[in-house]
Amino acid sequence: MIIEIDKNSGFCFGVVEAIRKAEETLQQQDVLYCLGDIVHNEAEVERLTKKGLITIDHERYFTMKDTTVLLRAHGEPPSTYEYARQNNIQLIDATCPVVLKLQQRIRNGRESDKIENTQVVIYGKKNHAEVNGLVGQTHGKAIVIENIDEIDKIDFTRPIELYSQTTKDLEGFHLLANELKRKAIDVPVKIHDTVCRQVANRIPAIQKFSARFELILFVSGQKSSNGKMLFHICQSVNPNSKFVSSIEEIDEQWIKDVDSVGICGATSTPKNLLEEVAEAVRQFAYKLLK
Ligand code: SF4
């Protein structure tokens, strides 16, 4: 049986760096608070929890003081930094540099913009941590659009600046951008393509990969939106694609009648989990031969 792990799957550099910072800090102290899941993968969160990482939500964060908190790759709005300054919280800022740059662009764009009534539009998922961080740069004024059906939230007689959440799809972004340009009447529409290529480039790669195998095992945490999107792409290319979060979820029956298995995952899937899945498939295949 051919068993292959997709070399393009696994953590993006933003997540790798956040985990590196968490582990480095935990070598110097027993406990480190992390605002939100450091990565949308239950197995990896559990591994770091055993080392002393404690995941907290925003409600708890805004009651804390005199401690150290890690900000994950998704980034945070200015209010999180302000609270830390006022309450003696030392921040380990692991915001991905790509997200930081995007936050700056939105902030600078607003500050330098002489046209008072410009609308900042963000193509993204409502209440996603990264999107909350971006909306925070506009004092809560940005309009979040999840898909083209929500376009009526925009006033087409006022100037528009369009940005994207880094993990959204390029196709949807271009569709929205074209529609904004078409509908805007005599007002400027500035398009800022801020889709992260770490994710976008995985789409064509995963399409090619999925087509090469009889069975695809897509490994991801349930909470990862990037995981859901990439799995959907696998399924559209190869209907025999299965979503698993751990080796316990692999059904022996899936492997019984196939000669090739491709294993891939999201930007939040650890490499070692992909290897564990490959090893489990190898064991099943060996058992079937006996
Ligand atoms: S997907 Fe891109 S922007 Fe998001 S954390 Fe990874 S590298 Fe950074």
pLDDT of residue 218: 98
Q: Report the relative pairing of strands 119-123 and 89-93 from DSSP bridges.
A: unpaired
| Total Cβ atoms within 10 A of residue 232 | 12
Q: Catalytic amino acids?
A: 130
pLDDT at 114 over 70: no
CATH number of 98-197: 3.40.1010.20
What tens digit of pLDDT does each residue of 17-28 get?
999 999 999 999
Cα 54 to middle of ligand 1, angstroms? 22
More confident position, 97 or 108: 97
Query: Does the Cβ of 75 fall within 6 Å of ligand 1?
Result: no
Q: How far is CA 170 from the centre of its chain?
A: 14
**8, 12, 229, best to mutate for ligand 1 pocket (most atoms within 8 Å of CB):** 12
Going across the sheet that includes 89-93, the strands are 53-56, 32-35, 67-71, 89-93
pLDDT of 109 above 80: no
Q: What pLDDT does residue 225 have?
A: 77
Q: For the chain, what are the domain ranges?
A: 2-9+199-289, 13-95, 98-197
CA of 284 to the centre of ligand 1 (A): 35
Ligand 1 atom nearest to CA at 97: 8
Closest approach atom of ligand 1 to CA 98: 3
Is 122 exposed, middle or buried, given 0-12, 13-18 or 19+ CB atoms closer than 10 A? buried
Cα–Cα–Cα angle for 21, 27, 30, rounded to 5 degrees = 105
Residues contacting residue 165 through CB under 8 Å, at least 6 positions apart:
122, 123, 124, 125, 128, 130, 131, 134
Residue 40 pLDDT level (bands cut at 50, 70, 90): confident
Is the Cβ atom of 80 under 6 angstroms away from ligand 1? no
Average pLDDT, the chain: 93
Look up the pTM and report it.
0.86
pLDDT of 289 above 80: no
Distance of CA 8 to the CA centre of its chain: 16
Share of the chain above pLDDT 90, in %: 81
Pocket mutation for ligand 1, best pick of 17, 95, 199, 201 (most atoms within 8 Å of C-beta): 199
Specify the fold of 2-9+199-289: Cobalt-precorrin-4 Transmethylase; domain 1 (3.40.1010)
Q: Judge if 13-95 and 98-197 fold alike in CATH terms.
A: no
Question: Does domain 13-95 match CATH 3.40.50.11270?
Answer: yes
Average pLDDT score over residue span 41-64:
95
Reported confidence tier of residue 116, pLDDT bands at 50, 70, 90: low
